[in-house]
């Protein structure tokens, strides 16, 4: 897999933030640098290597020039976690934290810390757009 420059920038930004303690640990935003970089790469691959027509029909950006960046704003992460937990179609238990990524300027992607990776994409109003298993 090729490493995309936007993934490298996101990784550097994440590492520059350092390790947070105290109140940040209860944040709904997950931020382990290695895991976040893996998810950023997975989402980026999904929106750059996926079928452009299918992505557009789902309301997802294709090859967003702004790339994919990790969200660290606890208000946004809480809104995404709450939107995910409110879904009737997701056969899982509620989550309290997630990796949330902004995809271009029009969507968010999230993944929890449960086994089995499915990226859930939401629009900017926190409405579900799609659930996608990443390409390998």
51-100 pLDDT, tens per residue? 999 999 999 999 999 999 999 999 999 999 999 999 876 566 789 999 99
Domain tally for the chain?
1
Contact 40, 108 (CB under 8 A): no
> Using CA atoms, how far apart are residues 47 and 67, in angstroms rounded to an integer?
9
11-28 pLDDT, tens per residue? 334 333 433 334 445 899
Share of the chain above pLDDT 90, in %: 66
pTM of the model: 0.78
Q: Which domain holds residue 106?
A: 5-132
Residue 130 φ/ψ, nearest 5 degrees: -165, 160
Residue 109: pLDDT above 90?
yes
- Which segments within 28-132 are labelled E, that is strand? 68-70, 99-103, 107-111, 119-123, 128-132
């Amino acid at each position: 897999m090729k490493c995309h420059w936007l993934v490298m920038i996101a990784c550097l930004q994440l590492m520059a933030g350092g390790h947070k303690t105290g109140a940040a640990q209860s944040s709904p935003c997950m931020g382990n640098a290695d895991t976040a970089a893996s998810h950023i790469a997975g989402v980026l691959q999904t929106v750059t290597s996926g079928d452009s027509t299918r992505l557009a029909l789902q309301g997802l950006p294709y090859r967003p020039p702004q790339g994919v960046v990790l969200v660290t704003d606890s208000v946004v992460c809480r809104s995404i976690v709450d939107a995910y937990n409110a879904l009737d179609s997701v056969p899982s238990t509620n989550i309290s934290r997630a990796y949330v990524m902004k995809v271009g300027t029009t969507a968010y992607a999230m993944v929890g810390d449960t086994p089995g990776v499915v990226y859930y994409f939401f629009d900017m109003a926190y409405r579900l757009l799609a659930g996608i298993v990443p390409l390998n």
